Amino acid sequence: MLINNAALPHHSHASLASNDDTFSASSPLFSRLSMLSKRPRWLLFTAEATLPTIPELVAFGIDASKVVKIKASLSMTEKDIILKAISAKNASAIVSSDNFSCEDKASLILKAKEVGCEIFFMDQSIRQTLIRNLH
């Protein structure tokens, strides 16, 4: 399941992308990332999130020059990396794995929202779908 910054059950404006359309050019995720790539800030993908190739980003209307893949860290967790990225205030969006509790997701979403950033959580089944569709 892919969840954006407003998609936790206790939020009134939840938005879930279904597995069938998540990685199509008309996908809500890629439509939103396309819009966010027009901003002067970065679209960050954590090491645990699957990154589309440059031709696919272009096909989705995403400015590939705004996309950054964050390297995995030997000393920081994915959550720590996300918090550091949020505190830098230079990302329009962060795409990460879905390996967080509901409480952690809610906390990350709130912190990101405070600095004008959106977070998308990508689970293993979505990652496998993307890998199958891209390669």
The owner of tokens 């892919």 is: 2
pLDDT tens digits for range 73-87: 999 999 999 999 999
Among 111, 95, 90, which residue's Cα sits nearest to residue 2? Answer: 95
More confident residue, 91 or 122: 91
**Integer CA distances (angstroms), 105 to 5, 33, 54, 74, in order:** 9, 19, 28, 22
Q: Regarding the domain with residue range 2-134, which homologous superfamily does it belong to in the CATH classification?
A: P-loop containing nucleotide triphosphate hydrolases (3.40.50.300)
Mean pLDDT for the stretch of residues 105-120:
96
**What does pTM read for this prediction?**
0.76
Q: Is the pLDDT of residue 95 over 90?
A: yes
The domain ranges of the chain are 2-134
More confident residue, 48 or 13: 48
Residue 118, classed as helix, strand or coil, is: strand
